[in-house]
Amino acid sequence: MSLSPEILHKLTAIVGETHIFTDEATRRHYGHDETEDYVFPPQVVVKPANTQEVADILKVANDYKVPTTPIGARTGLSGGALSIYEGIGLSMERFNKIIEIDELNLQVTVEPAVITQILREAVAEKGLFYPVDPSSMGSCWIGGNIAENAGGARALKYGVTKDYVLNLEVVLPNGDIIWTGANTLKNSTGYNLTQLMVGSEGTLGVITKAVLKLLPQNSHNVLLLVPFYKAHEACEAVSAIFRAGIVPSALEFMERDAIDWTLRLVEGISVPVKPEHQAHLLIEVDGNYPEVLMQEAEKIVGVVEQFEIDEVLFADSDEQKNALWKMRRSVAEAVKSNSVYKEEDTVVPRYMLPELLSGIKRIGAQYGFQSVCYGHAGDGNLHVNIIKGDMSDDYWKTQVPLGIREIFELTVSLKGTLSGEHGIGYVQKNFMDIAFTRTHLELMESIKRVFDPNNVLNPGKIFPDEL
Amino acid sequence: MSLSPEILHKLTAIVGETHIFTDEATRRHYGHDETEDYVFPPQVVVKPANTQEVADILKVANDYKVPTTPIGARTGLSGGALSIYEGIGLSMERFNKIIEIDELNLQVTVEPAVITQILREAVAEKGLFYPVDPSSMGSCWIGGNIAENAGGARALKYGVTKDYVLNLEVVLPNGDIIWTGANTLKNSTGYNLTQLMVGSEGTLGVITKAVLKLLPQNSHNVLLLVPFYKAHEACEAVSAIFRAGIVPSALEFMERDAIDWTLRLVEGISVPVKPEHQAHLLIEVDGNYPEVLMQEAEKIVGVVEQFEIDEVLFADSDEQKNALWKMRRSVAEAVKSNSVYKEEDTVVPRYMLPELLSGIKRIGAQYGFQSVCYGHAGDGNLHVNIIKGDMSDDYWKTQVPLGIREIFELTVSLKGTLSGEHGIGYVQKNFMDIAFTRTHLELMESIKRVFDPNNVLNPGKIFPDEL
């Protein structure tokens, strides 16, 4: 079914002829993100220039009940930006300005299509720090980070996106425009619609501006790579480090396969990896006082030495640090270049990590799938990449999801949940019954209806197909 | 109007005869909090023992459409716990257990009637840190802290209550029971009902358990008291400290009157205050490395010396530190012992503080009221105590609110908002139109209706009388 000429005419009148596209190549381009191999092209792609144009588009969408999917950098891993019911693909790419870096108040006002790394670099030039650093920060956008409540490697010390969002300009599905809060560090004034919007995956409104909190920039850090002979001991070491009174700025876990595949893909990284290492922890501490950081690093070494480890690598140059981080950030890409895979974004209280990891391997063995596990162990967030390899399409589609269901059941039984930072989107929605009661899901659906009674904004996401 | 014998009978059947009260003394006792001199007794006070009893009470309340007000420690400053439509006063006092301090995951599970300071001390014994410290922490409860999104002196470095709430057990107005999230540090799984509940002032559900995040305890701190000859320069120094790259663990502002009144009320505090000091900043840095803290303290002195200050006091014993903190925490009590007052909880981006302060004084002069200002300047949160003194009741009730309206209009024009940490409750609700558009308020009201279609839970709070 194609959109009526009347609708297309109205959309053209809003964005102008040069910012509306119905050709197949463009629709297809905007029809995929980084989620497996899914492609769901919208019927039309529009690229509004400003908040009012977004409002006008949503009014048309509401009048004609056209499904409308906000589209960001398309780096998402849960399919939140896929136009699964076709309709309008609302690309936010023209919202790409850093509006103001407020050095006096340590805040930045930014449009949603600013690349996270560009924002980080722009504020760093002023001596300020935006800590949230998803692995995709070189290409993902702030708007998508807010929509999915993105995390990253520094979340264990600095928190996730939600901890930096002070205020949002949002276009509601009916075209009304609000600011959700105030530009203040604390706020007890009415319901927290700012935090309701963060992580709502573009289903409650379209973010058109964001005011984010900044910190003073730290000047120093120390980075360690610790090879473990036993993967579960690497997991155990994670909570032991915190219990020793240390809050690292990063604490990343990588299974052996994750490193091997990455080193094959990414050139020029030299890491002393031996066949007998089962897993590595990449550990960073940061601050302004190098002698303190060395003390903390030594305390960390004292903790990890209680486990069976090989020699600890102290990265002592920026070059070496960058290489280690490049390795860590390239894992997803490396896995993807190897095989189609499903990525689960499990998260548990951090002491439960060893139990989660061994359970995942047990379930994988039972269902006959290989998984590559890595992630932000410091906050209990383990990415589980399930490899398709030469598995039949039928088994992949019918049997593997049963194994994933078991993984999520285990996760929830450990007081964890389905997604730590990727969101539910399209691919995890039919697992939501594991984490939430029917009452709870109905409550969320009722909130969705308050914002979007006609269900035009990003329909088919978050909520299970059958409630 | 009294409650029918049928309703009282059903409530008695739920909580038992020893936990239901209709005598005037008890009703009056539960009819006030710390908000001005308001008293709104409920018709009946019930004291449930557990979550199921709360659920059963709310079912009765819904069946009979009886207004029901959750009552905590009654230390609130916005009247959130006042039974303004009488009905059932739901005292949560029997929910007073720390259920589990989870040292492995740095979390605590707690019931809502645990006193904040008792929680802080209990976790400190295990080397852990719950940073949120409202001035009333010796008597307020965690449940109320969550309901109002309480802050305190350490919020500028450590955040407010919302930043520590991982998961909540909540009884919904219809008696359904949910856990809002998971016990994880990050979560991108559905709408963030945890954060919607925090700060909702008991209007969306009754909190019966909370899982809170903890940090490792810091071992050291340094405390400075800086006397300023000009109050607005004290305000200016606040953002200058952050811009110098320092994040203090506390940065409190006290006007001269606040200190004078407190020193008259609280005995045994020796502070070198001179008549020519207009304001003081109380500044703390904390951490594990004393030599680093001394360096930070010296940097701070370097910043404040750019202003006209008198000699800086370094508190060098625990006794002296405790005395300074006691002084700061006693300001509200001191003002109260002097006169009835209205407390406004203004909050702005911190660089706007000098403009806020001078505006408040200008408006006060215009309306003929005295104000005593103090608060958490590090996060831009200024408490404005407007003194009744010998003002006529009529002027107090009709003219002073017009001045308060001007103060809030100024606050919002500076990108701030009505309440930083006290909530809106009963006393600020008719100022909500200053901070929010009609669209926005209607959206919040619609969310309220999703949770509480019969408007039985804490009615008459947050929303203006006329929308």
Report yes or no for ipTM above 0.90.
Answer: yes
Burial A253-281 (b: 16+ CB within 10 A, else e): bbbbbbbbbbbebbeebeeebeeebbbbb
Mean pLDDT over B234-252 rounds to: 94
Interface contact A193-B440, CB threshold 8 A = yes
What's the pLDDT score for residue B339?
A: 87
Stretch (H or E) spanning B143: helix B142-148
Report the interhelical angle of B400-413 vs B353-367 (nearest 10°): 160
Each residue's pLDDT tens digit, B286-328: 999 999 999 999 999 999 999 999 999 999 899 999 999 999 9
Q: Would you call B127 an interface residue with chain A, using a CB distance cutoff of 8 Å?
A: yes
Tell how far CA B209 is from the center of its chain.
19
What's the pLDDT score for residue B266?
A: 83
What's the pLDDT score for residue A140?
A: 98
Q: How is the beta sheet containing B165-171 ordered, strand by strand? A: B98-102, B107-110, B206-213, B165-171, B177-179
Q: Would you call B292 an interface residue with chain A, using a CB distance cutoff of 8 Å?
A: yes
Query: Is residue B377's pLDDT more than 90?
Result: yes
What's the pLDDT score for residue B336?
A: 86
Q: Which of B183, B216, B350 sits opposite A105 (nearest CB)?
A: B350
Spatial distance between the Cα atoms of A197 and B192, rounded to a whole number of angstroms: 8
Q: Would you call A216 an interface residue with chain B, using a CB distance cutoff of 8 Å?
A: yes
Residue type, B378: G
H helix count then E strand count, chain B: 17, 18
H helix count then E strand count, chain A: 17, 18
Each residue's pLDDT tens digit, B207-216: 999 999 999 9
Q: Which of A163, A190, A446 sits opposite B436 (nearest CB)?
A: A190
Burial, A238: exposed, middle or buried (Cβ in 10 Å; 0-12, 13-18, 19+)?
Answer: buried
Phi, psi (5° rounding) for residue B358?
A: -70, -35
Q: Are B283 and B324 in contact (CB under 8 A)?
A: no
Q: Would you call A62 an interface residue with chain B, using a CB distance cutoff of 8 Å?
A: no
- CA neighbor of A112 nearest in space, from A42, A212, A214: A212
CB pairs under 8 A between A and B: 262
Residue type, B332: A
Interface contact B184-A418, CB threshold 8 A = no
Report the interhelical angle of B318-329 vs B256-265 (nearest 10°): 110
Task: Determine the length of chain B.
Answer: 467
Query: Is residue B111's pLDDT more than 60?
Result: yes
Each residue's pLDDT tens digit, A52-88: 999 999 999 999 999 999 999 999 999 999 999 999 9
Q: Are A281 and A238 in contact (CB under 8 A)?
A: yes
- CA neighbor of A141 nearest in space, from A102, A172, A96, A197: A96
| Res. B267 pLDDT band, cuts 50 70 90 | confident
Helices (H), A276-376: 290-304, 318-329, 331-338, 353-367
Each residue's pLDDT tens digit, A316-343: 899 999 999 999 999 988 888 888 899 9
Query: Is residue B1's pLDDT more than 70?
Result: no
Burial A380-414 (b: 16+ CB within 10 A, else e): bbbbbbbbbeebeeeebeeebbebbebbbebbbeb
| Percent of chain B at pLDDT exceeding 90 | 91
Each residue's pLDDT tens digit, B157-184: 999 999 999 999 999 999 999 999 999 9
Mutate to test the interface with A, among B171, B189, B351 (most CBs of A within 10 A): B189
- Which residues are CB-contacts of B162 (< 8 A; sequence separation ≥ 6)? A192, A195, B149, B195, B198, B199
What's the pLDDT score for residue B142?
A: 98
| Res. A359 pLDDT band, cuts 50 70 90 | very high
Enumerate domains of chain A plus CATH numbers.
5-91 (3.30.43.10), 98-216 (3.30.465.10), 220-332 (3.30.70.2190), 339-423 (3.30.70.2740)
Query: Is residue A268's pLDDT more than 80?
Result: no
- Which residues are CB-contacts of A94 (< 8 A; sequence separation ≥ 6)? A19, A47, A48, A49, A113
Paired with B32 in beta bridges are none
Nearest CA in chain B to A346: B187
Paired with A372 in beta bridges are A385
How does the average pLDDT of chain B come out, rounded? 96
What's the pLDDT score for residue B143?
A: 98
Q: Would you call B146 an interface residue with chain A, using a CB distance cutoff of 8 Å?
A: no
Q: How close A88 gets to chain B, by Cα (Å)?
A: 23
Task: Determine the length of chain A.
Answer: 467
Strands A98-102 and A44-46, sheet pairing? unpaired
- Tell me how many degrees the CA angle A231-A236-A241 measures, rounded to the nearest 5: 125
Q: Would you call A443 an interface residue with chain B, using a CB distance cutoff of 8 Å?
A: yes
Q: Lowest-pLDDT range, B131-140, B238-247, B267-276? A: B267-276
Interface contact B196-A196, CB threshold 8 A = yes
Q: Which residues on chain A are in Cβ contact (under 8 Å) with B431?
A: none
- Tell me how many degrees the CA angle B137-B140-B144 measures, rounded to the nearest 5: 125
Q: Could you write out the DSSP letters of every residue in A381-418? A: EEEEEEE-TT--HHHHHHTHHHHHHHHHHHHHHTT-BS
Query: Is residue A104's pLDDT more than 60?
Result: yes
What's the pLDDT score for residue A449?
A: 98
The distance between the two most distant Cα atoms of chain B, rounded to a whole number of Å, is 70
What's the pLDDT score for residue A1?
A: 56
Interface contact A347-B440, CB threshold 8 A = no
| Res. B356 pLDDT band, cuts 50 70 90 | very high
Q: Lowest-pLDDT range, A269-283, B186-200, B439-453? A: A269-283
Tokens 């949120």 -> residue: B132
Which tokens go with B210?
A: 């909370």
What's the pLDDT score for residue A265?
A: 85
